[in-house]
Structures are given as structure tokens and as C-alpha cells.
Amino acid sequence: MELRVALTRFLLLLGRAMRLRCPRCGKGKLYSHGYTMYERCAVCGWVFEREEGYWTGAMAVNLVATEIVVAVVVIPLAALQVPPLPLYGLGIPFTILLPILGYRHSKSVWMAIDFMIHPTDLW
């Protein structure tokens, strides 16, 4: 039963992260516009940046996600002996664009991971 509760909680927090919502209450928005993040949740008041250097984990999430996507695309093509130029044509733009496109979600996923490890009273 414990595993079921943990899995349900993980999926709930992951869903909130994908919708760019507060991991604590699930209602407040994380971003006002573009890449500008609110300081705290408008609904529950939870402060998003917990401490200095907090977003280092988000950078790691972004890096790992980018590496996985590039590897899933490029390695099978390399195994099929696709010439190097098309591989570079896919691999290089992916490694540049994916971290930019995934920036907001990587911060959101990092907050969800942190909230799962260090939950607060509102749940």
C-alpha cells in the first residue's frame, strides 16, 4: 500500500510540474510570462526559490533530459550508419534548442522533486 501512495503522489506532482503549477497546492501558476517566474504562489504563498543555488538541480534535470532525447534520436541513426552530416544536423540543434525549450519545465520538475523529498503541511 505504501508504494501505491508514493506512486500516486509522484504522478500528482509530475502532473502539476507538466502544467507549470505550484507543487504545493497545484493551483498557482509558476510563470507570469515567458521565462519570468513568480517569487511565490499566489494561492498558497509557497516561496518557489528555496535558497541560494536552488536551481542547480533544475539545470541537472534539463541536462539529463536533453542528453536522453539526443541519445534516443542520434544513437539509432548512427547504428543504421547514417552519414555524419545529417547526424550533426540533428544532434547540434537539439543540444542547443532543447535546454531552452525545456527550461521552464525543468525548473517545475525540480520543484516537484524537492517537494516530494521535503513536503510542507499543505497537501
Residue 104 forms part of a structural domain: yes
- Tell me whether residue 110 is in a domain: yes
Any domain includes 67: yes
Report the half-sphere exposure of 52 (CA within 13 A, side-chain side). Answer: 0
Give me the number of domains the chain comprises: 1
In this prediction, residue 92 carries a pLDDT of 92
Tens of pLDDT, residue by residue over 18-58, are: 999 999 999 999 999 889 999 999 999 999 888 888 999 99
Does residue 123 form part of some domain? no
How does residue 90 score in pLDDT terms, banded at 50, 70 and 90? confident
Reported as a single tens digit per residue, the pLDDT across 72-84 is 999 999 999 999 9
* 103 falls within a domain: yes
Range of the domain at 100: 2-117
Domain assignment of residue 122, yes or no: no
pTM: 0.84
**Does a structural domain hold residue 69?**
yes
Pick the closest to residue 40 from 55, 24, 53 (CA basis).
Answer: 24
